[in-house]
Amino acid sequence: MLGLCANLKWLFTELPFLDRFDAAARAGFRAVEYASPYEYPAAEIRSRLRSCDLKQVLFNTPAGGGSGMACIPGRREEFRDGMKKALDYAAELDCGLVHLMAGIVPADLKRDTAAATYGANVAWAADLASPAGVRLVLESINQRDVPGFFLRTQEEGAAVIEAVGGDRVGLQFDIYHCQVAQGDVTRRLETLMPIIGHIQIADAPDRNEPGTGEIAWDYVFRRIDELGYAGWIGCEYRPATDTVSGLSWRTRFRV
Protein backbone atom coordinates (compact mmCIF):
# COMPACT_ATOMS: atom_id res chain seq x y z
CA MET A 1 0.00 0.00 0.00
CA LEU A 2 1.09 3.55 -0.71
CA GLY A 3 2.12 5.63 2.32
CA LEU A 4 -0.16 8.61 2.91
CA CYS A 5 0.77 11.57 5.08
CA ALA A 6 -1.68 14.19 6.31
CA ASN A 7 -1.00 17.79 5.37
CA LEU A 8 -1.91 19.64 8.56
CA LYS A 9 -2.24 22.99 6.82
CA TRP A 10 -5.17 21.61 4.84
CA LEU A 11 -6.61 18.77 6.90
CA PHE A 12 -8.20 18.84 10.37
CA THR A 13 -8.53 22.62 10.21
CA GLU A 14 -11.54 22.27 12.51
CA LEU A 15 -8.89 22.10 15.26
CA PRO A 16 -6.01 24.32 16.41
CA PHE A 17 -2.79 23.41 14.63
CA LEU A 18 -1.08 21.58 17.49
CA ASP A 19 -4.19 19.45 18.06
CA ARG A 20 -4.15 18.26 14.47
CA PHE A 21 -1.29 15.83 15.14
CA ASP A 22 -3.42 13.71 17.43
CA ALA A 23 -6.37 13.95 15.06
CA ALA A 24 -4.23 12.69 12.18
CA ALA A 25 -2.97 9.76 14.23
CA ARG A 26 -6.49 8.82 15.31
CA ALA A 27 -7.57 8.92 11.66
CA GLY A 28 -4.93 6.33 10.79
CA PHE A 29 -2.13 8.48 9.38
CA ARG A 30 1.43 7.52 10.28
CA ALA A 31 3.08 10.68 8.98
CA VAL A 32 2.44 14.40 8.53
CA GLU A 33 3.57 17.37 6.49
CA TYR A 34 2.62 21.05 6.45
CA ALA A 35 3.85 24.36 5.09
CA SER A 36 5.36 26.04 8.13
CA PRO A 37 6.53 24.89 11.57
CA TYR A 38 8.15 28.21 12.41
CA GLU A 39 5.28 29.64 14.44
CA TYR A 40 5.98 27.05 17.15
CA PRO A 41 9.10 25.92 19.03
CA ALA A 42 10.63 22.86 17.40
CA ALA A 43 10.63 21.10 20.77
CA GLU A 44 6.84 21.48 21.04
CA ILE A 45 6.27 20.00 17.59
CA ARG A 46 8.73 17.19 18.31
CA SER A 47 6.79 16.38 21.46
CA ARG A 48 3.53 16.16 19.51
CA LEU A 49 5.12 13.91 16.89
CA ARG A 50 6.50 11.54 19.51
CA SER A 51 3.35 11.36 21.60
CA CYS A 52 1.32 10.54 18.48
CA ASP A 53 3.94 8.20 16.96
CA LEU A 54 4.04 10.24 13.76
CA LYS A 55 6.85 10.85 11.28
CA GLN A 56 7.58 14.35 10.04
CA VAL A 57 7.92 13.98 6.26
CA LEU A 58 8.16 17.50 4.83
CA PHE A 59 7.79 21.22 5.43
CA ASN A 60 8.64 24.36 3.45
CA THR A 61 11.41 26.90 3.71
CA PRO A 62 10.18 30.19 5.21
CA ALA A 63 7.78 31.90 2.84
CA GLY A 64 9.13 35.42 3.32
CA GLY A 65 5.66 36.92 3.45
CA GLY A 66 4.54 35.22 0.25
CA SER A 67 5.41 32.07 -1.70
CA GLY A 68 9.13 32.04 -1.08
CA MET A 69 12.00 34.25 -2.18
CA ALA A 70 14.60 32.04 -3.87
CA CYS A 71 14.10 33.67 -7.29
CA ILE A 72 14.18 37.26 -6.05
CA PRO A 73 17.43 39.26 -6.22
CA GLY A 74 18.05 41.46 -3.21
CA ARG A 75 16.65 38.88 -0.77
CA ARG A 76 19.62 36.55 -0.80
CA GLU A 77 20.58 37.02 2.83
CA GLU A 78 16.96 36.65 3.97
CA PHE A 79 16.70 33.48 1.89
CA ARG A 80 19.92 32.09 3.37
CA ASP A 81 18.85 32.86 6.92
CA GLY A 82 15.54 31.12 6.22
CA MET A 83 17.31 28.08 4.78
CA LYS A 84 19.47 27.76 7.88
CA LYS A 85 16.39 28.01 10.07
CA ALA A 86 14.66 25.30 8.02
CA LEU A 87 17.62 22.97 8.49
CA ASP A 88 17.62 23.61 12.24
CA TYR A 89 13.96 22.56 12.36
CA ALA A 90 14.64 19.57 10.10
CA ALA A 91 17.30 18.34 12.53
CA GLU A 92 15.00 18.77 15.54
CA LEU A 93 12.08 17.04 13.82
CA ASP A 94 14.11 14.32 12.09
CA CYS A 95 12.72 15.45 8.74
CA GLY A 96 14.56 14.40 5.60
CA LEU A 97 12.78 16.57 3.02
CA VAL A 98 12.46 20.35 2.81
CA HIS A 99 10.55 22.11 0.03
CA LEU A 100 12.59 25.06 -1.18
CA MET A 101 9.97 27.60 -2.23
CA ALA A 102 10.81 29.40 -5.47
CA GLY A 103 8.73 32.55 -5.01
CA ILE A 104 6.78 34.84 -7.30
CA VAL A 105 8.71 36.72 -10.00
CA PRO A 106 8.29 40.49 -9.47
CA ALA A 107 6.55 42.20 -12.37
CA ASP A 108 9.56 44.40 -13.13
CA LEU A 109 12.09 41.56 -13.05
CA LYS A 110 13.33 39.80 -16.19
CA ARG A 111 12.75 36.07 -16.08
CA ASP A 112 16.37 35.36 -17.01
CA THR A 113 17.50 37.29 -13.94
CA ALA A 114 15.03 35.42 -11.74
CA ALA A 115 16.27 32.12 -13.20
CA ALA A 116 19.92 32.93 -12.51
CA THR A 117 19.10 33.99 -8.95
CA TYR A 118 17.02 30.86 -8.34
CA GLY A 119 19.63 28.50 -9.73
CA ALA A 120 22.38 30.02 -7.59
CA ASN A 121 20.21 29.87 -4.46
CA VAL A 122 19.20 26.26 -5.04
CA ALA A 123 22.82 25.22 -5.56
CA TRP A 124 23.93 27.04 -2.40
CA ALA A 125 21.09 25.52 -0.38
CA ALA A 126 21.86 22.02 -1.67
CA ASP A 127 25.48 22.41 -0.60
CA LEU A 128 24.25 23.27 2.89
CA ALA A 129 21.47 20.69 3.15
CA SER A 130 23.17 17.59 1.75
CA PRO A 131 25.78 17.18 4.52
CA ALA A 132 22.95 17.59 7.04
CA GLY A 133 21.14 14.59 5.53
CA VAL A 134 18.33 16.71 4.07
CA ARG A 135 17.18 16.47 0.47
CA LEU A 136 15.62 19.58 -0.99
CA VAL A 137 12.55 19.25 -3.22
CA LEU A 138 11.30 21.76 -5.79
CA GLU A 139 7.63 22.22 -6.65
CA SER A 140 5.95 23.71 -9.69
CA ILE A 141 2.70 25.56 -8.96
CA ASN A 142 -0.02 26.35 -11.47
CA GLN A 143 -0.45 29.96 -12.53
CA ARG A 144 -4.18 29.99 -11.82
CA ASP A 145 -3.67 29.51 -8.10
CA VAL A 146 -0.42 31.46 -7.70
CA PRO A 147 0.08 33.83 -10.66
CA GLY A 148 3.71 34.60 -11.32
CA PHE A 149 5.17 31.65 -9.37
CA PHE A 150 8.61 30.99 -10.81
CA LEU A 151 8.38 27.23 -11.47
CA ARG A 152 5.46 26.80 -13.86
CA THR A 153 5.85 23.23 -15.14
CA GLN A 154 7.21 19.90 -13.94
CA GLU A 155 9.84 20.05 -16.66
CA GLU A 156 11.15 23.42 -15.47
CA GLY A 157 11.69 21.92 -12.04
CA ALA A 158 13.37 18.88 -13.59
CA ALA A 159 15.80 21.09 -15.52
CA VAL A 160 16.95 22.80 -12.33
CA ILE A 161 17.37 19.43 -10.63
CA GLU A 162 19.46 18.13 -13.52
CA ALA A 163 21.73 21.18 -13.26
CA VAL A 164 22.17 20.96 -9.48
CA GLY A 165 22.23 17.18 -9.09
CA GLY A 166 19.37 14.75 -8.50
CA ASP A 167 21.15 13.11 -5.58
CA ARG A 168 20.79 16.36 -3.58
CA VAL A 169 17.58 17.84 -5.00
CA GLY A 170 14.35 16.12 -6.01
CA LEU A 171 11.03 16.99 -7.58
CA GLN A 172 7.95 17.58 -5.45
CA PHE A 173 5.35 16.33 -7.92
CA ASP A 174 1.97 17.80 -7.02
CA ILE A 175 -0.67 15.99 -9.06
CA TYR A 176 -3.25 18.76 -8.65
CA HIS A 177 -0.88 21.46 -9.89
CA CYS A 178 0.25 19.26 -12.77
CA GLN A 179 -3.33 18.56 -13.84
CA VAL A 180 -4.32 22.22 -13.76
CA ALA A 181 -1.19 23.52 -15.47
CA GLN A 182 -0.36 20.75 -17.92
CA GLY A 183 -2.39 17.54 -17.72
CA ASP A 184 -0.98 14.22 -18.95
CA VAL A 185 -0.24 13.39 -15.32
CA THR A 186 0.73 9.72 -15.52
CA ARG A 187 3.00 10.18 -18.54
CA ARG A 188 4.86 12.86 -16.61
CA LEU A 189 5.04 10.61 -13.56
CA GLU A 190 6.54 7.88 -15.74
CA THR A 191 9.15 10.20 -17.25
CA LEU A 192 10.12 12.02 -14.08
CA MET A 193 9.87 9.23 -11.49
CA PRO A 194 13.68 8.84 -11.19
CA ILE A 195 13.93 12.36 -9.71
CA ILE A 196 10.63 12.53 -7.81
CA GLY A 197 11.30 12.92 -4.10
CA HIS A 198 7.75 13.54 -2.93
CA ILE A 199 4.21 13.40 -4.32
CA GLN A 200 1.20 15.45 -3.24
CA ILE A 201 -2.43 14.91 -4.19
CA ALA A 202 -5.72 16.75 -4.56
CA ASP A 203 -8.43 16.44 -7.16
CA ALA A 204 -9.04 19.05 -9.85
CA PRO A 205 -10.54 21.49 -10.50
CA ASP A 206 -11.52 22.45 -6.93
CA ARG A 207 -8.62 20.97 -4.94
CA ASN A 208 -10.83 18.70 -2.86
CA GLU A 209 -10.17 15.07 -1.90
CA PRO A 210 -9.60 12.37 -4.54
CA GLY A 211 -12.84 11.25 -6.17
CA THR A 212 -14.51 14.67 -6.17
CA GLY A 213 -13.26 15.89 -9.54
CA GLU A 214 -11.89 14.93 -12.93
CA ILE A 215 -8.80 12.84 -12.15
CA ALA A 216 -8.96 9.05 -12.66
CA TRP A 217 -7.48 8.12 -9.28
CA ASP A 218 -7.80 4.34 -9.64
CA TYR A 219 -5.43 4.54 -12.57
CA VAL A 220 -3.14 7.19 -11.08
CA PHE A 221 -2.60 5.31 -7.81
CA ARG A 222 -2.03 2.06 -9.68
CA ARG A 223 0.61 3.66 -11.90
CA ILE A 224 2.40 5.24 -8.93
CA ASP A 225 2.60 1.82 -7.34
CA GLU A 226 3.67 0.10 -10.57
CA LEU A 227 6.42 2.66 -11.08
CA GLY A 228 7.93 1.65 -7.76
CA TYR A 229 7.48 4.90 -5.89
CA ALA A 230 8.65 4.31 -2.33
CA GLY A 231 8.15 7.77 -0.80
CA TRP A 232 5.22 9.37 0.97
CA ILE A 233 2.15 10.88 -0.66
CA GLY A 234 1.02 14.12 0.93
CA CYS A 235 -2.73 14.69 1.21
CA GLU A 236 -2.70 18.39 0.40
CA TYR A 237 -6.35 18.99 -0.37
CA ARG A 238 -9.24 21.05 0.90
CA PRO A 239 -11.90 18.70 2.36
CA ALA A 240 -15.23 19.17 0.63
CA THR A 241 -17.02 18.81 3.98
CA ASP A 242 -15.24 17.90 7.21
CA THR A 243 -11.89 16.12 7.20
CA VAL A 244 -12.85 12.80 8.77
CA SER A 245 -15.97 12.28 6.64
CA GLY A 246 -13.94 12.99 3.53
CA LEU A 247 -11.36 10.31 4.29
CA SER A 248 -13.59 7.57 2.88
CA TRP A 249 -11.70 7.97 -0.41
CA ARG A 250 -8.86 5.94 1.11
CA THR A 251 -11.12 2.88 1.26
CA ARG A 252 -12.66 3.60 -2.13
CA PHE A 253 -9.27 3.66 -3.85
CA ARG A 254 -7.67 1.09 -1.53
CA VAL A 255 -4.73 3.22 -0.46
Print pLDDT tens along the chain (255 aa).
799 999 999 999 999 999 999 999 999 999 999 999 999 999 999 999 999 999 999 999 999 999 999 999 999 999 999 999 999 999 999 999 999 999 999 999 999 999 999 999 999 999 999 999 999 999 999 999 999 999 999 999 999 999 999 899 999 999 999 999 999 999 999 999 999 999 999 999 999 999 999 999 999 999 999 999 999 999 999 999 999 999 999 999 999
Give the pLDDT of residue 83: 98
How many Cβ atoms are within 10 Å of 227's Cβ, its own excluded? Answer: 15
Triad 196, 147, 198: Cα angle to 5°: 15
Q: Enumerate the active-site residues.
A: 139, 236
Residue 37: cis peptide before it, omega within 30 degrees of 0? no
Give the pLDDT of residue 252: 95
Full set of structural domains in the chain with CATH? 3-249 (3.20.20.150)
Give the pLDDT of residue 182: 98
Q: What residues have CB less than 8 Å from 101, skipping those under 6 apart? A: 60, 61, 63, 67, 68, 69, 70, 139
Amino acid (1-letter code) at residue 43 = A
Q: Indicate the angle between helix axes 217-226 and 185-192, nearest 10 degrees.
A: 10
pTM: 0.97
Amino acid (1-letter code) at residue 40 = Y
pLDDT digits (tens, 9 = 90+) for 81-111: 999 999 999 999 999 999 999 999 999 999 9
Give the pLDDT of residue 40: 98
Cα(207)–Cα(178) distance, integer angstroms: 12
Give the pLDDT of residue 206: 98
pLDDT digits (tens, 9 = 90+) for 173-211: 999 999 999 999 999 999 999 999 999 999 999 999 999
